[in-house]
Every structure is written in C-alpha cells, then in structure tokens.
Structure 1
C-alpha cells in the first residue's frame, strides 16, 4: 500500500512566502497610488486614512499597516510620483556650453514639469506648515539652488550686476514665477521660457 498512498503535495514554503510578499507589494503600491492621487487633488493636509482606504478599496487597518504615520504616507507618495514622472535633474544640463541655451533647456523641462504637476505643487505650498511637506519643500529649495549654480556658469556679468543677475536667474526657476507667467499673464510655456531667458540676459548687462 505504501506505493499507492501518497501524502498530498504541499507547496514549498518559499513559494508561499513569495506569494505573500508579492501580494503585500501589490497592496502597498495600490495604497501609494491612492494617496498620491489624493495629494494631487486635495493635498496632503486633507488626505485622510479613511480616504486612502476608500480609494484603494481596503480597510483602514490595512492602510495603518503599510503607512503608520504621515511621513510613511508622504514618502510612498513621493516615490510613486517620481517613478511615474520624475522631476528634471539639474546635473543633466552641465554639458550644455552656451549659457542661454542651457538656461532655455532647463526652463523648458522645469516649466513643463510645473504644468504637469501644477495642482500638486500648489497643494504642497498651501500645506507648507506640515512638517513632512516643509521637509520636502526644503529639499526642493536645495535642488533649485543646485540648478541655479549650474545655470550661472558661463554668463558674462558685470560685477556691479552680479547680485541682480543671480537673483533674476534664481527667480526664473521658481514654481511661483511660472504660475505668474502662465496663469497670471496667460503665456504659453514656450513664451514664458523666452521671457525668462530675456530677463536673465538683460540682467547680466
């Protein structure tokens, strides 16, 4: 009988653990997507655990298991958003020798990003009093400072105009500047870029 009676096959433990890990990763991504969409529409300060759970189709407890605090939610949202649409990388502009063309290239990328992320960025600046948002905006400030340093190279600026030039260049990189050009003045992104480049060029003289 021993040859005919066999124990039922049991899936290897490794397979079971991998399936569980895959399911957890899938749930985590769904929650990150839900939270990211809420950050884009209503903003971080109005993104609740209940809203994330409802949007992802899970229980509140599931959200807490994956995101125990605001920082975990914000980190997951940022990672998800950057995976889909990463912000421009200033270091990629270093190889452009002509300073006007370098600035123009940078602004085309920045202003395009601002248009795609318009509501999210507006929500972040509105919710700047939240510690996790304040930290993210500080990192953004650091990135824009790095961008300004890269774009500053190669311009011929009279010493007496240096501070004015630096302030003008840095100002053209800001989200608020694009917002004023695009929505306040009704310019297209291409028009906004050319205006910004001309302002910086004039400020160097």
Structure 2
C-alpha cells in the first residue's frame, strides 16, 4: 500500500472516530438532560447539572446545544421516541361518539400513566419551558380534544369544554393519582360527563 493511501485511510479513520465521539457526547448530554427533567424538572435543570451528569464541561454542552430551545427539542424527541404515543387515528376509526371517547381517553390516560414521572414535572414547570414547547403542549391538547369532539357533528361550547377538560393531564392526575380512581373508572366518569 502506498504511503499516500495509508495517510488517506488514517485520516478517514480519524474523521470517522471523531464523528462517533461527537455523536456519543451528544447522546450523553441528551440522556443526562432527560434524566434531570424527569427527576428535578425542567425548571431546576441547569447546564452545570447536565454537564456534570454527562461527564462533560458546560462549554461542551453549549457547543452541542447553543440555547435552551435546541436542548429541549433534543430532550423531547429522545423521551417521546421511547414512549408509546396516543394513536389519534385509531380513535378516529370509532364512529360512535361514546365509544370514541372511551377509546381515546383510555389511550391518552395510558400514556399519562406510563409517563407520569416526566409529564408531571413538565406540566408543573410549563411556564419555564421555551415558548414553542408551551405552544406544543397546547396544540397537543387541542388536537386530542378536536379528535374526540369532531364525531359529534354539531359542536356546543359545553361539550367542547368538557372534552377539553377530559384530555388535560391534570384532570387525569387529579382523578387517578390524587384521588386514586382506577383508570377505567376515570374513563367511564369522563365519558358519562361528556355524554350527559
């Protein structure tokens, strides 16, 4: 093998190794941030804390994530990628309004139950989140509400308000966590309230 080819191969190896190291560092930072968001919450998570948990310097965190929004985007994508998300299209397959409510709320409440540790802290610290993420939470609630509401045809303010209340994380938390209602009973209670 010629000296030039050996040099080219060595350079390519170093570049590949550097890219792997950069990706590994980024992954460690994101995982550290997700852990902190899930334990102390986004409001109490600091760059210094993330750097310490990831085993890097604060400058390294800033090099990978120049602002809170970019970091929060990466954390959200990482955490959501590990969850079984609610399947709104499956809800829409239900033509009967009461059944759609049951299917949709059961799916949504299962997601809340499975992610309660993170979701409780994110919703608690909502005011401290980047504005785009606050809007994303609102948009998700609106999308869920609308998917359950659209089957009714004529939409009245009372029904829209009750379904909006039913899809709220805090409604589920109050019923199932704070007051110990079994999840299926919470689904039935909210369905009865909306249909009544």
TM above 0.5, one fold?
A: yes
Of the candidates 171, 174, 177, which is equivalent to residue 183 of structure 1?
177
1:142 aligns with 2:136: no
Of the candidates 73, 97, 101, which is equivalent to residue 75 of structure 1?
73
Contact 2:43-2:129 within 8 A present in 1 as well: no
Aligned residue for 2:193? 199
Structure 2 Cα separation of the partners of residues 78 and 90 of structure 1: 19
1:168 aligns with 2:162: yes
Number of equivalences: 194
Would you identify which runs of 4 or more consecutive aligned residues in structure 1 move more than 6 Å?
none
Q: Name the stretch that deviates more: 24-33 or 58-67.
A: 58-67
Contact 2:145-2:164 within 8 A present in 1 as well: yes
Contact 2:127-2:134 within 8 A present in 1 as well: no
TM-score, normalised by the number of residues in structure 2: 0.87
Measured after TM superposition, the shift of residue 197 of structure 1 is 1.2
1:151 aligns with 2:145: no
Distance 1:106 1:27, change over 3 A: same
**In terms of Rg, which structure is larger?**
1
Structure 1 Cα separation of the partners of residues 113 and 181 of structure 2: 12
1:14-163 equivalences in 2 (<5 Å): 14-85=12-83, 87-132=85-130, 134-155=131-152, 162-163=156-157
Measured after TM superposition, the shift of residue 156 of structure 1 is 7.2
Gaps of 5+ in 2: none
Higher helix share: 2
